[in-house]
Structure 1
Protein backbone atom coordinates (compact mmCIF):
# COMPACT_ATOMS: atom_id res chain seq x y z
CA UNK A 1 0.00 0.00 0.00
CA UNK A 2 1.32 3.44 -0.91
CA UNK A 3 0.69 6.30 1.51
CA UNK A 4 0.88 9.98 0.71
CA UNK A 5 2.62 11.72 3.58
CA UNK A 6 4.30 15.10 3.53
CA UNK A 7 8.01 14.76 4.31
CA UNK A 8 9.10 15.77 7.78
CA UNK A 9 11.32 18.67 8.76
CA UNK A 10 14.21 16.82 10.47
CA UNK A 11 15.10 19.78 12.68
CA UNK A 12 11.59 19.64 14.17
CA UNK A 13 11.47 15.86 14.54
CA UNK A 14 12.44 13.47 17.33
CA UNK A 15 12.83 9.70 17.30
CA UNK A 16 11.61 8.17 20.58
CA UNK A 17 13.11 4.77 21.40
CA UNK A 18 11.18 3.61 24.44
CA UNK A 19 11.79 0.88 27.02
CA UNK A 20 14.42 -1.03 25.05
CA UNK A 21 15.72 -2.51 28.30
CA UNK A 22 16.87 -6.08 29.02
CA UNK A 23 14.11 -6.82 31.54
CA UNK A 24 11.41 -5.67 29.12
CA UNK A 25 12.94 -7.24 26.04
CA UNK A 26 12.86 -10.56 27.91
CA UNK A 27 9.08 -10.67 27.46
CA UNK A 28 9.22 -10.29 23.66
CA UNK A 29 9.75 -12.95 21.00
CA UNK A 30 12.53 -12.45 18.44
CA UNK A 31 14.20 -9.59 20.25
CA UNK A 32 17.17 -9.46 17.88
CA UNK A 33 14.96 -8.54 14.92
CA UNK A 34 13.27 -5.90 17.02
CA UNK A 35 16.61 -4.45 18.12
CA UNK A 36 17.90 -4.53 14.54
CA UNK A 37 14.97 -2.41 13.42
CA UNK A 38 15.47 -0.04 16.33
CA UNK A 39 19.09 0.33 15.25
CA UNK A 40 17.93 1.00 11.68
CA UNK A 41 15.71 3.80 12.96
CA UNK A 42 18.56 5.13 15.04
CA UNK A 43 20.93 5.17 12.06
CA UNK A 44 18.33 7.06 10.05
CA UNK A 45 17.92 9.63 12.80
CA UNK A 46 21.67 10.16 13.11
CA UNK A 47 22.12 10.61 9.38
CA UNK A 48 19.18 13.02 9.06
CA UNK A 49 19.98 15.05 12.19
CA UNK A 50 16.71 13.99 13.81
CA UNK A 51 16.70 14.40 17.61
CA UNK A 52 17.24 11.09 19.41
CA UNK A 53 15.31 10.47 22.62
CA UNK A 54 15.64 7.41 24.84
CA UNK A 55 12.93 6.64 27.35
CA UNK A 56 13.42 4.03 30.05
CA UNK A 57 11.44 2.91 33.08
CA UNK A 58 13.22 2.50 36.41
CA UNK A 59 12.40 3.04 40.06
CA UNK A 60 14.26 4.66 42.92
CA UNK A 61 13.24 3.71 46.46
CA UNK A 62 10.97 6.73 46.77
CA UNK A 63 9.26 5.84 43.49
CA UNK A 64 8.18 2.46 44.83
CA UNK A 65 6.76 4.16 47.92
CA UNK A 66 4.77 6.58 45.79
CA UNK A 67 2.77 3.85 44.02
CA UNK A 68 -0.68 3.56 45.65
CA UNK A 69 -2.01 0.11 46.45
CA UNK A 70 -4.98 0.59 44.11
CA UNK A 71 -2.70 0.93 41.07
CA UNK A 72 -3.33 -2.44 39.42
CA UNK A 73 -0.55 -2.21 36.87
CA UNK A 74 2.25 -1.18 39.20
CA UNK A 75 1.43 -3.01 42.46
CA UNK A 76 3.33 -6.06 41.25
CA UNK A 77 6.26 -3.83 40.27
CA UNK A 78 6.44 -2.57 43.84
CA UNK A 79 6.04 -6.00 45.43
CA UNK A 80 8.83 -7.48 43.31
CA UNK A 81 11.01 -4.37 43.31
CA UNK A 82 11.10 -4.69 39.53
CA UNK A 83 13.47 -2.48 37.49
CA UNK A 84 15.39 -0.74 40.28
CA UNK A 85 17.25 2.27 38.97
CA UNK A 86 20.92 1.51 38.46
CA UNK A 87 20.45 -2.21 37.85
CA UNK A 88 21.69 -3.75 34.58
CA UNK A 89 18.19 -4.86 33.62
CA UNK A 90 16.89 -1.28 33.79
CA UNK A 91 19.53 0.20 31.48
CA UNK A 92 19.07 0.89 27.78
CA UNK A 93 20.13 -2.16 25.79
CA UNK A 94 23.82 -1.96 25.05
CA UNK A 95 23.35 -2.52 21.31
CA UNK A 96 21.75 0.91 21.05
CA UNK A 97 24.22 3.76 20.75
CA UNK A 98 23.49 6.37 23.42
CA UNK A 99 25.54 9.46 22.70
CA UNK A 100 26.33 12.57 24.64
CA UNK A 101 23.66 15.11 23.74
CA UNK A 102 20.86 12.57 23.29
CA UNK A 103 17.83 13.15 25.49
CA UNK A 104 17.48 10.32 28.03
CA UNK A 105 14.55 10.33 30.44
CA UNK A 106 13.60 7.98 33.25
CA UNK A 107 9.90 7.38 33.87
CA UNK A 108 7.89 5.60 36.54
CA UNK A 109 4.63 5.01 34.69
CA UNK A 110 3.67 3.74 31.22
CA UNK A 111 3.81 6.91 29.15
CA UNK A 112 6.90 8.88 28.24
CA UNK A 113 5.49 12.20 29.45
CA UNK A 114 3.53 12.05 32.69
CA UNK A 115 6.48 11.51 35.06
CA UNK A 116 9.24 13.22 33.05
CA UNK A 117 10.16 16.65 31.73
CA UNK A 118 10.20 15.42 28.13
CA UNK A 119 7.46 17.80 26.95
CA UNK A 120 9.49 20.78 28.11
CA UNK A 121 12.64 19.49 26.43
CA UNK A 122 10.89 18.92 23.11
CA UNK A 123 9.06 22.22 23.14
CA UNK A 124 12.26 24.03 24.02
CA UNK A 125 13.79 22.70 20.81
CA UNK A 126 10.75 23.45 18.64
CA UNK A 127 10.01 19.79 17.98
CA UNK A 128 6.49 19.14 16.67
CA UNK A 129 6.87 15.70 15.06
CA UNK A 130 7.52 12.38 16.81
CA UNK A 131 8.55 9.03 15.36
CA UNK A 132 7.95 6.42 18.06
CA UNK A 133 9.06 2.85 18.67
CA UNK A 134 9.17 0.73 21.78
CA UNK A 135 8.00 -2.04 24.05
CA UNK A 136 5.25 -2.63 24.62
CA UNK A 137 2.71 -1.63 22.00
CA UNK A 138 -0.09 -1.74 24.58
CA UNK A 139 1.99 0.02 27.24
CA UNK A 140 4.47 2.82 26.57
CA UNK A 141 3.59 3.21 22.88
CA UNK A 142 -0.16 3.45 23.44
CA UNK A 143 0.14 5.81 26.42
CA UNK A 144 2.73 8.03 24.76
CA UNK A 145 0.79 8.21 21.51
CA UNK A 146 -2.44 9.23 23.23
CA UNK A 147 -0.71 11.92 25.28
CA UNK A 148 1.21 13.30 22.31
CA UNK A 149 -1.87 13.35 20.09
CA UNK A 150 -3.71 15.42 22.68
CA UNK A 151 -0.78 17.84 22.57
CA UNK A 152 -1.12 18.10 18.76
CA UNK A 153 2.15 16.46 17.79
CA UNK A 154 2.45 15.04 14.31
CA UNK A 155 2.95 11.31 14.91
CA UNK A 156 4.45 8.29 13.23
CA UNK A 157 4.56 4.79 14.74
CA UNK A 158 7.22 2.34 13.56
CA UNK A 159 5.13 -0.82 13.62
CA UNK A 160 8.07 -3.14 12.96
CA UNK A 161 10.22 -1.55 15.68
CA UNK A 162 7.42 -1.90 18.20
CA UNK A 163 6.33 -5.10 19.91
CA UNK A 164 4.00 -6.48 22.55
CA UNK A 165 4.07 -9.72 24.56
CA UNK A 166 0.67 -10.40 22.98
CA UNK A 167 0.93 -10.29 19.15
CA UNK A 168 -2.83 -9.80 18.83
CA UNK A 169 -2.68 -6.66 20.96
CA UNK A 170 0.07 -5.36 18.68
CA UNK A 171 -1.97 -6.15 15.57
CA UNK A 172 -5.18 -4.52 16.77
CA UNK A 173 -3.42 -1.37 17.96
CA UNK A 174 -1.25 -0.87 14.88
CA UNK A 175 -3.97 -1.75 12.38
CA UNK A 176 -7.14 -0.41 14.00
CA UNK A 177 -6.38 2.04 16.82
CA UNK A 178 -3.18 3.97 16.09
CA UNK A 179 -4.13 5.04 12.53
CA UNK A 180 -6.76 7.36 14.00
CA UNK A 181 -4.00 9.51 15.52
CA UNK A 182 -0.78 8.60 13.73
CA UNK A 183 0.68 7.34 10.48
CA UNK A 184 1.72 3.73 11.04
CA UNK A 185 4.80 2.98 8.97
CA UNK A 186 7.78 0.63 8.90
CA UNK A 187 11.49 1.30 9.23
CA UNK A 188 11.79 0.89 5.45
CA UNK A 189 9.65 4.01 5.10
CA UNK A 190 11.92 6.27 7.14
CA UNK A 191 13.94 7.56 4.21
CA UNK A 192 10.71 8.57 2.50
CA UNK A 193 9.92 10.73 5.53
CA UNK A 194 13.10 12.60 4.71
CA UNK A 195 11.80 13.21 1.19
CA UNK A 196 13.98 10.55 -0.42
CA UNK A 197 11.32 8.34 -1.99
CA UNK A 198 7.73 7.03 -1.75
CA UNK A 199 6.35 5.30 1.30
CA UNK A 200 5.86 1.63 0.58
Structure 2
Protein backbone atom coordinates (compact mmCIF):
# COMPACT_ATOMS: atom_id res chain seq x y z
CA UNK A 1 0.00 0.00 0.00
CA UNK A 2 1.24 3.47 -0.90
CA UNK A 3 1.60 5.84 2.03
CA UNK A 4 0.02 9.28 1.94
CA UNK A 5 2.28 11.98 0.58
CA UNK A 6 2.22 15.63 1.60
CA UNK A 7 4.61 18.17 0.10
CA UNK A 8 5.41 21.64 1.40
CA UNK A 9 5.58 23.71 -1.81
CA UNK A 10 7.97 26.25 -0.24
CA UNK A 11 10.62 23.58 0.40
CA UNK A 12 9.97 21.55 -2.75
CA UNK A 13 11.52 21.91 -6.19
CA UNK A 14 10.44 20.29 -9.42
CA UNK A 15 13.55 19.24 -11.35
CA UNK A 16 12.77 18.17 -14.91
CA UNK A 17 15.59 16.67 -16.96
CA UNK A 18 16.35 17.32 -20.65
CA UNK A 19 12.95 18.31 -22.02
CA UNK A 20 14.59 19.91 -25.01
CA UNK A 21 14.31 19.82 -28.79
CA UNK A 22 17.12 17.31 -29.32
CA UNK A 23 15.70 14.78 -26.86
CA UNK A 24 11.89 15.04 -26.58
CA UNK A 25 11.35 13.79 -30.14
CA UNK A 26 13.45 10.65 -29.73
CA UNK A 27 11.72 7.28 -29.37
CA UNK A 28 11.21 6.61 -25.66
CA UNK A 29 8.96 4.35 -23.60
CA UNK A 30 6.65 3.71 -21.86
CA UNK A 31 5.60 7.37 -22.25
CA UNK A 32 6.29 9.43 -25.37
CA UNK A 33 8.35 12.58 -25.09
CA UNK A 34 5.18 14.57 -25.77
CA UNK A 35 3.40 12.79 -22.88
CA UNK A 36 6.31 13.54 -20.52
CA UNK A 37 6.18 17.23 -21.49
CA UNK A 38 2.36 17.25 -21.18
CA UNK A 39 2.70 15.96 -17.60
CA UNK A 40 5.65 18.18 -16.69
CA UNK A 41 3.78 21.39 -17.44
CA UNK A 42 0.90 20.98 -14.95
CA UNK A 43 3.42 19.85 -12.31
CA UNK A 44 5.42 23.03 -12.89
CA UNK A 45 2.31 25.22 -12.99
CA UNK A 46 0.91 23.73 -9.76
CA UNK A 47 4.16 23.99 -7.82
CA UNK A 48 4.92 27.50 -9.12
CA UNK A 49 1.40 28.68 -8.17
CA UNK A 50 1.97 27.53 -4.59
CA UNK A 51 5.34 29.26 -4.26
CA UNK A 52 7.58 26.32 -5.11
CA UNK A 53 10.71 26.24 -7.22
CA UNK A 54 10.75 24.96 -10.80
CA UNK A 55 14.05 23.85 -12.34
CA UNK A 56 14.51 22.94 -15.99
CA UNK A 57 17.74 21.07 -16.73
CA UNK A 58 19.08 20.94 -20.26
CA UNK A 59 22.12 19.19 -21.62
CA UNK A 60 24.42 21.09 -23.94
CA UNK A 61 24.50 18.34 -26.55
CA UNK A 62 27.62 19.54 -28.37
CA UNK A 63 29.52 19.76 -25.08
CA UNK A 64 28.29 16.47 -23.60
CA UNK A 65 31.02 14.39 -22.01
CA UNK A 66 31.87 11.56 -24.41
CA UNK A 67 34.29 8.97 -23.11
CA UNK A 68 35.24 5.72 -24.88
CA UNK A 69 32.44 3.16 -24.51
CA UNK A 70 31.33 -0.09 -26.09
CA UNK A 71 27.92 1.46 -26.85
CA UNK A 72 28.36 5.24 -26.99
CA UNK A 73 25.18 7.32 -26.76
CA UNK A 74 26.38 9.39 -29.73
CA UNK A 75 28.44 8.22 -32.68
CA UNK A 76 31.97 9.71 -32.55
CA UNK A 77 31.66 10.93 -36.15
CA UNK A 78 28.16 12.40 -35.71
CA UNK A 79 27.83 15.99 -36.94
CA UNK A 80 27.26 18.68 -34.30
CA UNK A 81 23.69 19.09 -33.13
CA UNK A 82 21.93 22.29 -34.18
CA UNK A 83 21.91 24.94 -31.42
CA UNK A 84 18.14 24.55 -30.99
CA UNK A 85 18.63 20.90 -29.97
CA UNK A 86 19.86 22.06 -26.55
CA UNK A 87 16.96 24.47 -25.99
CA UNK A 88 13.88 23.61 -23.92
CA UNK A 89 10.75 22.86 -25.90
CA UNK A 90 8.27 25.74 -25.52
CA UNK A 91 5.50 23.30 -24.50
CA UNK A 92 7.05 22.99 -21.01
CA UNK A 93 5.93 26.56 -20.36
CA UNK A 94 9.11 27.77 -18.67
CA UNK A 95 8.58 31.08 -16.87
CA UNK A 96 10.94 33.97 -16.10
CA UNK A 97 11.28 32.98 -12.41
CA UNK A 98 12.18 29.36 -13.16
CA UNK A 99 15.75 28.13 -12.74
CA UNK A 100 17.52 26.89 -15.88
CA UNK A 101 20.52 24.61 -15.36
CA UNK A 102 22.83 23.69 -18.23
CA UNK A 103 24.86 20.50 -17.88
CA UNK A 104 27.57 18.73 -19.83
CA UNK A 105 27.13 15.19 -18.48
CA UNK A 106 24.25 12.92 -17.55
CA UNK A 107 23.67 14.17 -14.00
CA UNK A 108 22.46 17.69 -13.23
CA UNK A 109 24.56 18.29 -10.09
CA UNK A 110 28.16 17.72 -11.17
CA UNK A 111 29.74 20.85 -12.66
CA UNK A 112 26.60 23.01 -12.23
CA UNK A 113 25.18 25.29 -9.55
CA UNK A 114 22.06 23.16 -9.03
CA UNK A 115 22.79 22.27 -5.40
CA UNK A 116 23.55 25.91 -4.57
CA UNK A 117 20.36 27.09 -6.29
CA UNK A 118 18.30 24.60 -4.25
CA UNK A 119 20.03 25.21 -0.90
CA UNK A 120 19.68 29.00 -1.21
CA UNK A 121 15.93 28.55 -1.59
CA UNK A 122 15.64 26.22 1.41
CA UNK A 123 14.69 23.22 -0.74
CA UNK A 124 14.77 19.84 0.99
CA UNK A 125 12.55 17.85 -1.40
CA UNK A 126 12.96 17.26 -5.12
CA UNK A 127 10.16 16.11 -7.40
CA UNK A 128 11.95 14.67 -10.42
CA UNK A 129 11.18 13.47 -13.92
CA UNK A 130 12.28 13.85 -17.52
CA UNK A 131 14.11 11.93 -20.21
CA UNK A 132 15.78 9.52 -19.92
CA UNK A 133 14.96 7.48 -16.83
CA UNK A 134 18.26 5.57 -16.78
CA UNK A 135 20.56 8.39 -17.83
CA UNK A 136 19.90 11.99 -16.75
CA UNK A 137 17.07 11.28 -14.31
CA UNK A 138 18.78 8.41 -12.49
CA UNK A 139 22.18 10.16 -12.41
CA UNK A 140 20.61 13.30 -10.97
CA UNK A 141 18.51 11.31 -8.48
CA UNK A 142 21.52 9.38 -7.18
CA UNK A 143 23.41 12.63 -6.54
CA UNK A 144 20.34 14.22 -4.92
CA UNK A 145 20.01 11.18 -2.65
CA UNK A 146 23.70 11.48 -1.70
CA UNK A 147 23.08 15.18 -0.88
CA UNK A 148 20.19 14.08 1.42
CA UNK A 149 17.35 15.58 -0.61
CA UNK A 150 14.03 13.79 -0.17
CA UNK A 151 12.83 12.50 -3.55
CA UNK A 152 9.54 12.04 -5.36
CA UNK A 153 9.74 10.32 -8.75
CA UNK A 154 6.91 11.15 -11.15
CA UNK A 155 6.49 7.95 -13.15
CA UNK A 156 4.29 9.33 -15.94
CA UNK A 157 6.50 12.42 -16.34
CA UNK A 158 9.57 10.26 -16.96
CA UNK A 159 10.52 7.94 -19.81
CA UNK A 160 13.44 5.76 -20.93
CA UNK A 161 15.03 4.39 -24.06
CA UNK A 162 12.79 1.35 -23.59
CA UNK A 163 9.97 0.22 -21.35
CA UNK A 164 11.95 -2.54 -19.63
CA UNK A 165 14.68 -0.14 -18.48
CA UNK A 166 12.08 2.32 -17.20
CA UNK A 167 10.10 -0.22 -15.20
CA UNK A 168 13.21 -1.85 -13.77
CA UNK A 169 14.53 1.48 -12.47
CA UNK A 170 11.21 2.55 -10.98
CA UNK A 171 10.56 -0.83 -9.34
CA UNK A 172 14.07 -1.84 -8.26
CA UNK A 173 15.72 1.50 -7.50
CA UNK A 174 13.55 4.60 -7.26
CA UNK A 175 11.05 3.22 -4.74
CA UNK A 176 14.01 2.54 -2.42
CA UNK A 177 15.27 6.12 -2.80
CA UNK A 178 11.97 7.97 -2.36
CA UNK A 179 8.33 8.00 -3.33
CA UNK A 180 7.01 6.99 -6.77
CA UNK A 181 3.84 8.81 -7.76
CA UNK A 182 1.85 9.87 -10.82
CA UNK A 183 1.50 13.45 -11.98
CA UNK A 184 -1.98 13.74 -10.44
CA UNK A 185 -0.89 12.18 -7.14
CA UNK A 186 2.05 14.57 -6.94
CA UNK A 187 -0.10 17.63 -7.65
CA UNK A 188 -2.60 16.45 -5.02
CA UNK A 189 0.25 16.15 -2.48
CA UNK A 190 0.93 19.89 -2.84
CA UNK A 191 -2.32 20.74 -1.04
TM-score normalised by length of structure 1: 0.84
Partner of 2:118: 122
Q: Does 1:103 align with 2:99?
A: yes
Matching residue within 156, 169, 173 for 1:177: 173
Contact 2:16 2:130 in 1 (8 A): yes
CA contact 2:61–2:85 (8 Å) conserved in 1: no
Query: In 1, are the aligned partners of 2:106 and 2:136 still within 8 Å (CA)?
Result: yes
Q: How many Å separate the matches in 2 of 1:169 and 1:115?
A: 26
For residues 52 and 116 of structure 2, what CA distance do their matches in structure 1 show?
A: 17
Q: Distance in 2 between matches of 1:112 and 1:72?
A: 24
Superposition pairs of residues 27-38 of structure 1, within 5 angstroms: 27-29=26-28, 30-38=32-40
**1:16·1:52 contact (CA, 8 Å) conserved in 2?**
yes
Which residue of 2 is the match for residue 47 of structure 1? 49
User: Do the aligned partners of 1:159 and 1:185 also contact (CA within 8 Å) in 2?
Assistant: yes
Match of 2:74 among 73, 76, 96: 76
Deviation at 1:48, TM superposition (A): 1.6
Q: 1:14 aligns to what SS in structure 2?
A: strand
Distance 1:73 1:154 in 2: 32
Task: Report the Cα offset of residue 109 of structure 1.
Answer: 0.3
**Where does the alignment leave 5 or more consecutive residues of structure 1 unmatched?**
none
Q: Which residue of 1 aligns with 2:4?
A: 4
Distance change in 2, residues 1:71/1:109 (3 Å) = farther
Equivalent residues, number: 188
Q: Distance in 2 between matches of 1:75 and 1:43?
A: 32
Q: Distance in 1 between the 2:80 and 2:170 partners?
A: 28
Show structure 2 runs of 5+ residues with no match: none
Deviation at 1:59, TM superposition (A): 4.6
| CA shift for structure 1 position 77 | 6.1
Note the C-alpha offset of 1:174.
Answer: 0.8
How far residue 33 of structure 1 moved from its aligned partner, in angstroms, is 2.0
CA RMSD of aligned residues (A): 2.1
CA contact (8 A) 2:33 2:131 kept: no
Looking at structure 2, the residues matched to 92 and 145 of structure 1 have their Cα atoms a distance apart, in angstroms, of 20
1:109-157 residue CA offsets vs partner (Å, 9 max, x unmatched): 0001112111111111111110001000001111011000011001001
Equivalents in 1 of 2:125, 2:115: separation in Å? 12
Kindly indicate whether the alpha-carbon contact (under 8 Å) linking 1:44 and 1:190 is maintained by their aligned counterparts in 2. no
Residue of structure 2 aligned with 1:162, choices 152, 158, 162: 158
Give, in angstroms, the shift of residue 69 of structure 1.
4.5
Q: Is the 8 A contact 1:69 1:75 kept in 2?
A: no
TM-score, with length taken from structure 2: 0.88
